[in-house]
Amino acid sequence: MVDAKKARETREPVVGENVVRVDGAAKVTGGARYVDDIPPMPGELHGATVRSRVPRGILRAIAFDPSFDWSDVTVVTAKDVPDNVVQLIVDDQPVLAAERINHMYEPVVLLACSDKAKLARAYAAVTLDIEPLPAVFDMEESLAAETVIWGEANVQNRYLITKGAADTDESEAAIDVAIAACEVVVRGSYSTHHQEQLYIEPNGMIAWWDEAGAHATGSLQCPFYVHKAFKRCFHLEPEQIHITQAVTGGGFGGKEEYPSLIALHAALLAKKSGRPVRIIYDRVEDIEATTKRHPSRSWIESGCDRDGTLRALKMRVMMDAGAYVTLSPVVLSRGVLHAGGCYRWADVRIEGIGVATNTPPNGAFRGFGAPQTIWAIERHLDAVARQLGLDAGELKVRNMLVEGDTTSTSQTLRGSVGGTECVERAFEASDYLARRRAGPSVLGRKARGLGCAVFMHGGGFTGSGERMLKGKVAVDLLAGGRLEIRSGSTDIGQGTETVFAQIAADAAGIPFEHVSVAVPSTTHVPDSGPTVASRTVMVVGAIVERAAKELAARVEASRRPGETFAAAGDRLLAKEGPQSALVQYEPPAWVNWDDKKYKGDAYPVYAWMCDVAEVEVDLDTFEVKVLNFWSAADVGKAIHPLMCKGQLEGGSLQAIGWALSEEVVWKAGAIVNPRMTNYIIPTALDAPPFETFLVEAPYEHGPSGGAKGIGELPMDGGAPAVAAAVEHATGLIINHLPLTPERLFAAWLNSEAAQ
């Protein structure tokens, strides 16, 4: 007989191994059921949303063509909404517009019918009478507040970070003095544009009602956000709401807050019709109506020594929130917290302003405000280097934060600071310094150049967020010594289920195959907090580890000599009934954050990364091809190295797309290119070969030996690295995204004219 204890001890650990993804087979064989693959429920109706199609105005009337047969069409308007608010941070967004129209794609009327073709005709038979009002699309115009479209003066949020000399009531005057005292002063302005998440699976939801209450299932990241939205809108008790994630085909933040709205719409139609209702957005509707990355504008003035030692930073960041607040305060917050980059500044004043415009609300998108400000600070450091005659890479290395240094929020970095090693690895692999010094290589009408970006990204919720959130996870003991993890964290393609199972298997000392992850449904999983903010592995994974350990210890304690873990577990279940461990997250005790002064430990730890991009620019057509992309990332601990690299490379490609080709084109508040044919994400052919190195500077509170959050990190660096490489190749300095051939051409014309 095998010695059970020994068998458990000799079990191969799975952390650090590229185990086969638990969701892989179902996805590649087509077995996985995304929301629109779920077979129709009896009597199910299709739902559709009639939108304002006017960027701002007053809804006067809704006309339903009397010659149309409405007998089998369910119609819902604002009048049918019990509490007409989408619950999030501020109660400004209605579930259906009642009177005020604040953007082009505001939902006004919901329709449902069992016949899809008839539904399309019903849609055409609704006419909205909207009296137009002047609309505001531009951030600066909004700030000027000549036309007030939100609150008292269009400003939704402001943040101020001060440090050193600027840490006074007169912070602006103080920072001006500090900068003026510097040997070299550099000024610049930088901007970024919208970005659409473009997950493969568009948004969709099915909702129905029964004696248990309201149900919704669909494509989503945060089941408990939908749960809260239902509680508010329908005034239900928590146990009357049942929100379940369907297999989800990507999210990138785009399925963080918006699914609440679609689920509410489906549930409103379901309630009125008494039938299940399915709403599936097509690509056009998804691009038009759902959230996008916030556009930004930044102004930077900085002072440094002639030798390149950075001293003082003054920065103003403005973000375009769109028509409603949604998550914008949090996005802007992460933006300002990352605005100083990964650099040592003695004196800092960073101001953030979120303004409203009459465009659909912008929302969560991988990086969550940081890619915008890191674009600005990285491009600014490139400008400083240019002015000093230094290489930008050398300047960045010289000023990088190391252990013991303080960030812009005066947070002292306490360890797990792997930035320097990241830079060394990426520079060495790309031969960055020598190739930069050698200058661009020009062959015929093609020029090649190299550029780098160095950055860090905070893991988990900002400041005191995790302390307030109190994320929970449960692990149950099943028959046969198996464990099941119950958590509200969702696998949306990033591999959460697999990584959670790895963490739990090693924590409990059982085989990987003996761990399963429950479908996230609010009815039977605890609220682990949303699947956002690079927190799933680092924060939720840490409590998965603790819960699995705790439960395994319980089995272990009851185990008789010679008994297997499975047998001990079964005996425990028989004797004492269901066994589970519920663990709540506690941030490290030393995390100290002052929300008023915006000072302290903004994040318990940061992941680090250095990107080097090599581009080839066609000097005739200004097409930019990324030839190579080297990067090194400090991830703390790579639990699944292959998926970890997959996240880093996928995020970098998303950043390259944002930099080079993706652009939402607007005309009077409407999106002109809401299709995959003209919203240009990179294809496999546009993707460079990636060479990615994993650096592991463990975070003492991370799971499985120190994992940090890396989901958002790679989105931060691709754009500035590519822009620096284009500058190296061509001399064209671009501070405003995107670097489309048309914009490069225009910049080249300007530079020719200037000469």
Partner 1 sequence: MSLADLSRYEFARPASLDAACRLLSDREKKGARTVLLAGGTDFMVQVSQGGAAEGPLPLVLDVSRIKELACVSFDGTTLRIGAGVSYLELQRDPVVREYAPLVARMTQDIGGPTIQGRGTLGGNLATASPAADGVAAIAAYDPVIEVKSSRGTRKIPIAVLQTGYKQTSRAADEVIVAVEFRAPAHGSAWCWRKVGTRLAQAISKVAFAGVAEVHDGRVTRVGFAMASVAATTALLPNTRELVRLTPLAQLTAAAVDAAVASDVSPQDDVRSTRDYRMHTAKAVVRGFLRDLGAPV
Q: Which residues of the chain form contacts with partner 1 (CB under 8 A)? A: 116-117, 119-121, 123-124, 445, 620-623, 625, 661, 665, 672-673, 676-678, 680, 682-686, 741-742, 745-746
Q: Which of 485, 497, 493 is nearest to 22 (CA)?
A: 497
Query: Of 525, 537, 512, 523, nearest to 475 (Cα)?
Result: 525
Contact 373, 380 (CB under 8 A): no
Q: Which of these, 696, 711, 663, lies nearest to 293 by C-alpha position?
A: 663
C-alpha to C-alpha distance for 525 and 221, rounded to whole angstroms: 14
Q: State the burial class of residue 648 (Cβ atoms within 10 Å of its Cβ: 0-12, 13-18, 19+).
A: buried
Cα 683 from chain centroid? 21
**Residues 698, 637 contacting (CB under 8 angstroms):** yes
- Residue 746 beta carbon to partner 1: minimum distance, rounded to whole angstroms: 8
Task: Report how far residue 148's alpha carbon sits from residue 156's, in angstroms, rounded to the nearest whole number.
Answer: 12
Cα separation, 112 vs 575, in Å, equals: 52
Element (H, E) at 263: helix 258-273
Task: Give φ, ψ of 118 to 5 degrees.
Answer: -70, -35
Q: Work out how close the CB of 623 gets to partner 1 at its nearest, in angstroms, rounded to a whole number.
A: 7
Q: Which helix (H) or strand (E) holds 245?
A: strand 241-245
H or E, element range at 753: helix 741-754
Q: Which residue has the tokens 């500044």?
A: 345
- What is the three-class DSSP state of 371? helix
State the pairing for strand pair 593-594/45-51: unpaired
Q: Terminus-to-terminus CA distance in the chain, angstroms?
A: 86
Given a contact cutoff of 8 angstroms between Cβ atoms, the answer to whether 17 and 506 are in contact is no
Give residues with Cβ within 8 angstroms of 627, minimum separation 6: 448, 614, 615, 616, 688
* 594 beta partners: 599
> What burial letters (b/e) apply to 175-205, b meaning 16+ CB within 10 Å?
bbebbeebebbbebebbbbbbbbbbebbbbb
Strand 472-478 relative to strand 580-584, pairing: antiparallel
The total number of residues shown for the chain amounts to: 755
Q: Which helix (H) or strand (E) holds 241?
A: strand 241-245
The CB density around residue 410, as the number of other CB atoms within 10 Å, is 19
Which single residue is written with the structure tokens 């003035």? 301
Active-site residue set: 712
Neighbouring C-alpha atoms within 13 Å toward the C-beta of 9: 5
Looking up tokens 């415009």, which residue turns up? 357
CB atoms within 10 A of CB 261: 26
